[in-house]
Chains A and B, each alone.
Chain A
Amino acid sequence: MKKILVANRGEIAIRVMTTAKKMGIKTVAVFSTVDRNAPHVKFADEAVCIGEAPSNQSYLKGDKIIEVAKQLNVDGIHPGYGFLSENADFAELCEKNDIVFIGPRSKAIKIMGSKLAAKEAVKTYNIPMVPGIDEAITDVEKAKSIAKQIGFPILIKASAGGGGKGMRIVEKEKDLESQMKRAISEATSAFGDGSVFIEKYVSSPRHIEIQVMADSHGKILHFFERECSIQRRHQKVVEEAPSSVLTPELREEMGQAAIKVAKSCDYLGAGTVEFLLDADHNFYFLEMNTRLQVEHPVSEIISGVDLVELQIKVARGEKLDIAQEDLKINGHALELRVYAEDPLNDFLPSVGHLDVYQLPSGQGIRVDNGYEEDMDIPIYYDPMLSKLITYGKTREEAIMLMKQAITNYKVEGVETTLPFGKYVCEHEAFTSGNFDTHFVKKYYSPEVLQKNTEAEAKIAALVAVNQYLEDQKTLRLPVN
């Protein structure tokens, strides 16, 4: 594989190209008109403009990307995450055009892309799943009987959905009918498909996911877990590896389960199997993400591998020459997603200009960055500026480094999730490891952040006034 096209932008494009360069592989970047000056364009060996700013006119145009790839004699396409990474049709298109799609085969994407198909596939491997029914239903009576079976509280989840839409928690039986009806109507209007799953609602759940990698010679490895319970609006903001609650036995159990899930769909390449962990440390399979994920760096750091490098090797048909027994956890890694969002304003995107943008650096600090100072944040794409990753010998060290790194990360011109990250790192529930996916709901409100800022602002005011009074005393001579 001599040349790779990265069908993506921002930090992940740079991350993938960095490894490609390391491996001596030439890189091609694609960009929309509004991304002409973006760092990922300047980083690549070759770059082609593929359309206008809106994603569906540029980064989602699979056929255009294939056209460019063919023109430039590209051997492989890395889709990054988001955009076309889990688009089975695109994977097929690559296969048809004799270009290696650096990821799973289209069949695996299709299977794991549907909750129904996914559950069917893993059933044969006895992977524990959240108690519930295997089929999506719309009948309220049936829902009632199922709910009685699995016991309350239950969760109603839209079959075709995600992102929290069509999801409802039902605590008591008497609420079931009305909640069911509302969930179905929500799902119908959002996704055009009103069928829902009923499953047990796991209280105090922790979101634990396992990184897996499969080659074309039948070998599947796991690279330990990631804890991703700090989420807001069902989107991850802080991730870490390893989790602070997993025992080595549980880790091995979950790791093996993840490998089986990958096997069940004849997987190839990098993937992530997501589980829910309840208070009693029972784990349940949620879904598999058939792509390289945003938070992959924390796994890389503790296991000492370059996942993108492995992806490329696997795509080239090589064997994975690592043994599972040889993989060991080294230290602790923490990641904060730095979004251009205002944590004081419900995390709404903070669009603007990066007047100041200076990254922290030093021992134990890694920034997977996609922006530069003086850039405008385009409104068309995901507002993630970078991933701030710290690693230390212990979890405490990683947290301390994260706090320092956040302080030294200078951004002016837009609001970011950095102050939120600092808040998390200073919160007792997080530092003690005693948290679940309800962390943000329980402990965070903009007022809390505001209060901290206000205290500092008052100090700033006092120091300024102090300076002012000092300046008043200084004699100033008139100049003629």
Chain B
Amino acid sequence: MSSHLKVKVDDRFDFDICKDDISNLDITQVSNSKYHLLQNNKSFHTKVVASNFTTKEYEVSVNNTAYKVSVSNDLDILVKDMGFTLGSKKAISSIIAPMPRLILDVSVVVGQEVKENDPLLILEAMKMENSITSPIDGIIKAVHSNKGDAVEKNQLIIEFE
């Protein structure tokens, strides 16, 4: 159990709170979700309006103004420090032919900068025309085949920088 927590309020303020801060709080429970605090002799009427233990998100109203609070524990901080983010993309450096195909059209040249989903070339296989789009944002390093070429399985067609 972590004794040191990072708390974010309204996406604007960041606080470091440890267990001692809580045990030293002059706080009394008034009713189920209402608490009264005395801090520096000032009086605060607070209410826990909403709480989600699983996501560690809370909504607290202090003297009738509502604040959104997000609590992060040691693991959350560790994950953030290690740079683990969700939704990262893979690095792809080449386009190869997955099976024998005929190249109908190549629409890029060496040195061209392409964005994800830009069309690169059109291949024909199984009587179907397939438009191959770029899987990444990148620059074309090399184009190894031309319009009209037939490529073998696993043959390298395009390389990215």
Residue ranges of A at the interface with B (Cβ–Cβ < 8 Å) = 407-408, 410, 412, 454, 456-469, 471-472
Chain A residue with the shortest CB-CB distance to B9 = A457
Contact A407–B65 (Cβ < 8 Å): yes
- Rounded to whole Å, the gap between the CB of B12 and the closest CB of chain A is 7
Contact A462–B25 (Cβ < 8 Å): yes
Identify which of B19, B35, B61, B62 contacts A469 (C-beta below 8 A). B19
B46-54, B74-82, B145-153: which lies at the interface: B46-54
**Given the known A-B contacts A462-B17, A464-B48, are A456 and B63 also in contact in the complex, defined by CB atoms under 8 Å?**
yes
Chain B residue with the shortest CB-CB distance to A465 = B17
Q: Which 10 A-B pairs have the closest CB atoms?
A: A460-B67, A464-B69, A464-B58, A457-B9, A460-B60, A461-B7, A407-B64, A457-B13, A471-B53, A456-B62
Contact B17–A461 (Cβ < 8 Å): yes
Contact B67–A457 (Cβ < 8 Å): yes
Indicate whether B21 reaches chain A with its CB closer than 8 angstroms: yes
Report the separation of the CA atoms of residues A461 and B37 in the bound assembly, to the nearest whole angstrom.
Answer: 12
Contact A464–B21 (Cβ < 8 Å): no
Contacts of B22 in A (CB 8 A): 462, 465-466, 469
Contact A457–B48 (Cβ < 8 Å): no
- Report the tally of A-B residue pairs with Cβ distances under 8 A: 85
Indicate whether B84 reaches chain A with its CB closer than 8 angstroms: no
Contact B51–A471 (Cβ < 8 Å): yes
Please name 28 pairs of A and B residues whose Cβ atoms are closer than 8 Å in the assembled complex, sorted by A.
A407-B63, A407-B64, A407-B65, A408-B64, A410-B66, A412-B66, A456-B67, A457-B9, A457-B12, A457-B15, A457-B62, A458-B13, A458-B15, A460-B9, A461-B7, A463-B37, A463-B46, A463-B48, A464-B7, A464-B48, A464-B51, A464-B71, A465-B71, A466-B25, A466-B27, A467-B51, A471-B53, A472-B1
**Chain B: interface residue count, which band?**
20 to 34
Chain B residue with the shortest CB-CB distance to A412 = B66
State the main secondary structure of chain B at its contact with A. Answer: strand
Interface residues as binary, B24-58 with A (CB distance below 8 Å gives 1, 0 otherwise):
01010000000101010000101010010100101
Contacts of B67 in A (CB 8 A): 456-457, 460
> Knowing that A457-B62, A465-B21 are A-B contacts, what are 13 other residue pairs whose CB atoms are under 8 Å apart, sorted by A's residue number?
A407-B63, A407-B65, A456-B44, A456-B62, A456-B67, A457-B13, A458-B15, A459-B46, A460-B69, A462-B17, A464-B48, A465-B71, A466-B22
Indicate whether B139 reaches chain A with its CB closer than 8 angstroms: no
Report the separation of the CA atoms of residues A467 and B10 in the bound assembly, to the nearest whole angstrom.
Answer: 17
Contacts of B64 in A (CB 8 A): 407-408
Contacts of B27 in A (CB 8 A): 462-463, 466
**Given the known A-B contacts A465-B17, A466-B22, A471-B51, are A459 and B1 also in contact in the complex, defined by CB atoms under 8 Å?**
no
Report the separation of the CA atoms of residues A382 and B53 in the bound assembly, to the nearest whole angstrom.
Answer: 42
Chain A residue with the shortest CB-CB distance to B13 = A457
Indicate whether B136 reaches chain A with its CB closer than 8 angstroms: no
